[in-house]
Amino acid sequence: MNDIIAYFSTIPSSHRSLILVGGITFFWMIENTFPLFQMHYRKWQHAGINFFLTFTTIIVNFVLAFILIKTANWTVENHFGLLQWLPALPLWLYTIIGLLLLDLIGAYTPHYVQHRFKFLWRFHLVHHTDTWIDTTSANRHHPGESIIRFIFTTLGVLIIGSPMWMVFLYQTLSVISTQFTHANISLPQKLDTLLSYFIVSPNMHKVHHHYVLPYTDSNYGNIFSVWDRLFGTFTTLPKDKIIYGVDTHMAVEENNNLKNLLKIPFQKSRSAKNS
C-alpha cells in the first residue's frame, strides 16, 4: 500500500498519458474482436471527434491542475474534510473509504446534477449525442463541461479532504473504468450482471446512453455501482433494446459534426427537459 501511495504521490504526467492512450488502444482492440454491436460507421472519423474533445479535457485539467493540487494540500495541512476527521484507520480501509467518497461526491453527484439542471445539461448533452458508443466515447466532453467537471472535482476534494495521491489514484481508476464501460464489448451476461453489483459494468452504463427517458436519467455511477443501487437510480434494459444517442439530436449532421457539437450548449433547446 505504501508503494502505491508513493507512486501516485509523484506520478509523472507521461505515465498518466500512457495510461489514457494505452487504455484506449487496449479496449479498441478488444471491441474490434468481441463487439457488443456491429456498428457501421466511419470509426476513425468518429474517433477523431472524440479524440479532439478528449484533448480539450486534458488541456483544461492541465491548466487548472494547480488549483486541485493546492486544494488537496490545503485540506491535509489544515486537517479539513471528511477523511481528515476520521479516527485512525488501517491504510487500506482509509483508501477504500476515500475512493468511495470521491466517487460519490466528485463523480456520481455532479453527474446527477448535470442531468437535473438545465444549464449544466446543455453542456453534458454533447456526451449523450454520440450514437456510436465505443471506448473513444469515454471522454467525449464539451470543453465547457470539462470546466464544470473540474469545479465539481475540486469541491469534492475540499469536502472530502482527500490527499493528492488519492485523487491521482482515483482519476487513474476512473480513466480505465470509463474506457471499459464505454467500450463496444460483449461480456457474458452473467459476468456483466455480477460485476454490476460492485462496479459499473459495460451493459449497466450502456443503459445510461439509451436515447430516451427514463433510461437516460439512470445509472449515473462512474466506478462503483453502489450509489445507483443505494439512491434508486439503477435501471436495467436488455442490451438488444438499447439505442444510443439522445432523442433531440439523432441527425448525423448534428451529432457527428465537431463544429455543431461545440455550438450545442448555446443553441435553442429542443425539449422541455433540455430548455
Span 142-155, pLDDT tens digits: 999 999 999 999 99
Question: Which of 8-22, 128-142, 227-241 is predicted with the least confidence, judged by mean pLDDT?
Answer: 8-22
Mean pLDDT of the region 165-182: 97
Confidence of residue 271 (pLDDT cuts 50, 70, 90): low
* CA count, 13 A, side-chain hemisphere, 236: 8
At residue 269, the pLDDT reads 79
The model's pTM: 0.94
The C-alpha cell at 88 is 485512525
Mean pLDDT of the region 253-268: 94
The C-alpha cell at 86 is 476520521
Cα angle value 91/12/94 (rounded, 5°): 10
At residue 272, the pLDDT reads 44
The answer, yes or no, to whether residue 273 has pLDDT greater than 50, is no
Contacts for 110 with CB less than 8 Å, ≥ 6 apart: 148, 149, 152, 153, 156
Confidence of residue 268 (pLDDT cuts 50, 70, 90): confident
Question: Which of 5-19, 48-62, 185-199, 249-263 is predicted with the least confidence, judged by mean pLDDT?
Answer: 5-19
Mean pLDDT of the region 206-234: 97
Contacts for 7 with CB less than 8 Å, ≥ 6 apart: none
The answer, yes or no, to whether residue 270 has pLDDT greater than 80, is no
d(CA 28, CA 34): 10
pLDDT digits (tens, 9 = 90+) for 58-114: 999 999 999 999 999 999 999 999 999 999 999 999 999 999 999 999 999 999 999
Residue 13: closest CA among 21, 25, 5: 21
